Structure 1
Amino acid sequence: MDLAEALPLGELAAAFAALPVFPLFDTAYFIISVLYLKYEPGAVEMSRKSPFASWLCAMLHCFGSYILADLLLGEAPIGYFSHNSSVILATAVWYLIFFCPMNLFYKCVSFLPVKLIFVAMKEVVRVRKIAAGVHHAHHLYHHGWFVMMATGWVKGSGVALMSNFEQLLRGVWKPETNEILHMSFPTKASLYGTVLFTLQQTHWLPISEANLIFFFTMFMIVCKVFMTATHSHASPFAPLENLVCPVLFGSVSSGHPGHHHNHHGASHEVSHPPPPPPPAKSKEELNEGTRKRKAKKAE
């Protein structure tokens, strides 16, 4: 039985899930993706020195999720570039953001109220891509739960999982920015979302796909719009993770590295034994010292 069946949202969710994302929502997705590229240090200079490299980076930001998903499923990684209309639209957005006279287009789309609208529209596309990735993997691997989750995750995470490769195209190497080691909120949300969609696809979650798309999209829109409006990088999942992770995986202080550190620290803190006291002077030495003091006093 559908959990949302009793709510008057069934028709709304069905209509929302059937809403086409091209070209309106895809345009918003491309705008925000290329905006984030322009925010990267040196991206503007690269667009002047090497426009082709800048265009390649923009295409990775726009279509990186499709490339990764195709690689995982053994399909042609450039297959999505056969959609000429999407590639032309993304190219037009890239050109306007980087080369529009007086930076007019960039100033318009980066204006915060306008940008928030595009951010919300981008999350609509993200959730659709997660659902489509899980559905496509389920069609190929009917019982492959992990294949479904991996495909949905890379579809939703976009270029974030390819950030190191994209940086190489810009002549930058930052291995410490590995997205798997330091997940951003969209990457984490895509991971959790793809678990939900996998459970729904395998009939372990009693909710229709349309309702799940609707509710998860609303969650993503609220979180991303709030984070963008407040310029916050704190993950909404942090309070829950701080409670659950120490219970399931332990804390850093209770693990072996901390014990190893304390062991070495204790070895450094052990005080050395005090030096032995000087040997007691003999009676002859004491008498000799007394005579010298008396002679010095007489002088």
Structure 2
Amino acid sequence: MEVLDILNLGEIAHYFSKMAMFPVFDLAYYIVSILYLKYEPGSVEVSRKSPVASWLCAMLYCFGSYILADIMLGHSPIDYFHNNSHILLASAVWYLIFFCPFNLFYKCIAFLPIKLVLVAMKEVVRTRKIVAGVHHAHHAYHHGWFIMVITGYVKGSGVALMSNFEQLLRGLWRPETNEILSMSFPTKASLYGAILFTLQEAHWLPVSKSTLICVFTLFMATSKVIMTARHSHGSPFALIESWLCHLLFGSPLGGEEAHDHHHAAPAATAAPASPAKTKEELSEGTRKRKTKKAE
């Protein structure tokens, strides 16, 4: 305890939990979100053929979680768009990523060391969004714990949950990429984080909110930075989830990985786009191909 008192970890966590997100962290969030949009197949072509559709997709990537949460809580889905400064900032980022001469802005932010910093900053914003969603639902439905979890979950991963609708704006329909059917790491982490913050909000978790925010943010940022640096689509939860699914639902251990491996050979002949590569992170080879196409 004396060491904790000397380090003032409680004060550091409190300061961190109160730190403003706009404009620096929000800017990083918009940059990474729209960068992932540019990685999506056909997004560059859409930006040339229909800039309006491309801009709408970018706004969904940046504000989809707010739109979906507002719909769930009975508010106007365009309510968040009254924040002119956020809309203008995200629009400026969209323009620079897609239309900057010689792709200079894209090349700068796609440079791995810079990208890793931006990815870590994005996870700071994601955690705050989960906390805000749980807190908002707590005020509207004081004892609605499931509503608090769902709202926090949507606030943290609403962009992924709306991915099929965003694909329609780009003229695609890929129901097999439904995020509920195949959750990515950020979606799973948002769900687990929403559960933790709901327990804390209900005073069932003996830890302060500022400390939980600090610890969860550190976990998310570290995990995403490592996964991005390694170009990995795996999940730190995979082993635990495998054992739990085997224990609770009778699923075979490593069932998802075995299933993917079993179907890998037949899929290679047709060479379709893998659902994992249509999510947030793409492999190095895909990124290089998209960069060459953009140039």
**TM-score (normalised: structure 2):** 0.83
Query: Who is 1:92 aligned against?
Result: 92
Query: Who is 2:194 aligned against?
Result: 194
1:9 CA drift (Å): 1.2
Distance in 2 of aligned mates of 1:83 and 1:187:
26
For structure 1, list consecutive stretches of 5 or more residues without a partner in the other structure.
Answer: 254-299
Distance in 1 of aligned mates of 2:10 and 2:38:
40
Q: Which amino acid in structure 2 is aligned with residue 164 of structure 1?
A: N
Structure 2 SS opposite 1:118: helix
Query: Who is 1:166 aligned against?
Result: 166
1:242 CA drift (Å): 1.3
Distance in 2 of aligned mates of 1:7 and 1:113:
29
Distance in 1 of aligned mates of 2:177 and 2:128:
27
Instruction: Summarize the alignment of residues 69-84 of structure 1 with structure 2, pairs less than 5 Å apart.
Output: 69-84=69-84
1:8 CA drift (Å): 3.8
Query: Who is 2:278 aligned against?
Result: none
Q: Which amino acid in structure 1 is aligned with residue 179 of structure 2?
A: E
Instruction: Summarize the alignment of residues 113-262 of structure 1 with structure 2, pairs less than 5 Å apart.
Output: 113-251=113-251
Query: Who is 1:277 aligned against?
Result: none
1:252 CA drift (Å): 5.2
Distance in 2 of aligned mates of 1:38 and 1:132:
28
Distance in 1 of aligned mates of 2:193 and 2:6:
23
1:244 CA drift (Å): 1.4
Distance in 2 of aligned mates of 1:8 and 1:205:
22
1:5 CA drift (Å): 8.7
* Residue correspondences, number: 250
Query: Who is 2:11 aligned against?
Result: 11
Distance in 2 of aligned mates of 1:210 and 1:7:
16
Q: 1:7 to 1:201 in 2, by over 3 A?
A: farther
Q: 1:8 to 1:245 in 2, by over 3 A?
A: farther
Q: Which amino acid in structure 1 is aligned with residue 134 of structure 2?
A: V
Q: Which amino acid in structure 1 is aligned with residue 82 of structure 2?
A: S
Distance in 2 of aligned mates of 1:183 and 1:32:
19
1:7 CA drift (Å): 7.6
Q: CA RMSD in A?
A: 1.4
1:121 CA drift (Å): 0.2
Show CA shifts across 1:146-177 (max 9, x none).
11001000100031000100000000010000
Distance in 2 of aligned mates of 1:159 and 1:123:
14
Show CA shifts across 1:203-253 (max 9, x none).
000111111100000000110000000000011000111111110111259
Query: Who is 1:23 aligned against?
Result: 23
Q: Which amino acid in structure 1 is aligned with residue 214 of structure 2?
A: F
Show CA shifts across 1:17-48 (max 9, x none).
01000000000000000000000011001000
Distance in 2 of aligned mates of 1:117 and 1:94:
19
Structure 1 SS opposite 2:94: helix
Q: Which amino acid in structure 2 is aligned with residue 125 of structure 1?
A: V
Q: 1:6 to 1:65 in 2, by over 3 A?
A: farther
Query: Who is 2:63 aligned against?
Result: 63
Q: Which amino acid in structure 2 is aligned with residue 37 of structure 1?
A: L
Distance in 2 of aligned mates of 1:198 and 1:6:
30
**How high is the sequence identity, in percent, across the aligned residues?**
70
